[in-house]
């Protein structure tokens, strides 16, 4: 079945440093989504990428979808303490079961003020 791997599992940074998390799928994806889960909270939808090579920005967050639509990344510039949380990627397959998201295990980001 489809697998989505995410690295690193944990990342600790000083406030102001940059942060990147990477997501790789075992199969070609129709689209990929990113979610943020604050400690004690539930996942919150951030963005969806659909096109090969797509790049989208949300303030300090930059999301990329690979040319082969099998990998993606989330980059945060100049982290702040409000960025703390677990970032999940979730891929949707390109076959008949393209309604179901397969989540990566997430990257837990902690920020030292």
**Contacts with another protein, residue ranges (CB under 8 A):** 31, 33, 35, 41-45, 47-48, 88, 90, 92, 97-106
Q: Cβ of residue 79: shortest distance to another protein, in angstroms?
A: 21
Minimum distance, C-beta of residue 38 to another protein, in the bound complex (Å): 12
Least Cβ distance, residue 78 to another protein (angstroms): 26
Pairing of the two strands 107-112 and 10-14: parallel
Q: Which is nearer to another protein, 44 or 78 (by Cβ)?
A: 44
**Coil, strand or helix at 19:** strand
Separation CA 15–CA 1 (nearest Å):
38
CA 99/CA 61 separation, integer angstroms: 26
């Amino acid at each position: 079945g489809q697998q989505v791997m995410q690295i690193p599992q944990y990342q600790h940074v000083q406030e102001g440093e940059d942060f990147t998390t990477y997501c790789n799928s075992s199969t070609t994806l129709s689209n990929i989504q990113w979610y943020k889960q604050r400690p004690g909270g539930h996942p919150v939808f951030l963005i969806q990428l659909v096109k090969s090579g797509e790049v989208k920005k949300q303030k300090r967050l930059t999301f990329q979808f690979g040319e082969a639509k099998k990998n993606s990344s989330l980059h945060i510039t100049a982290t702040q303490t409000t960025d703390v949380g677990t970032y999940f990627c979730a891929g949707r397959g390109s076959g008949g079961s393209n309604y179901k998201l397969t989540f990566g295990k997430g990257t837990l980001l902690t920020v030292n003020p």
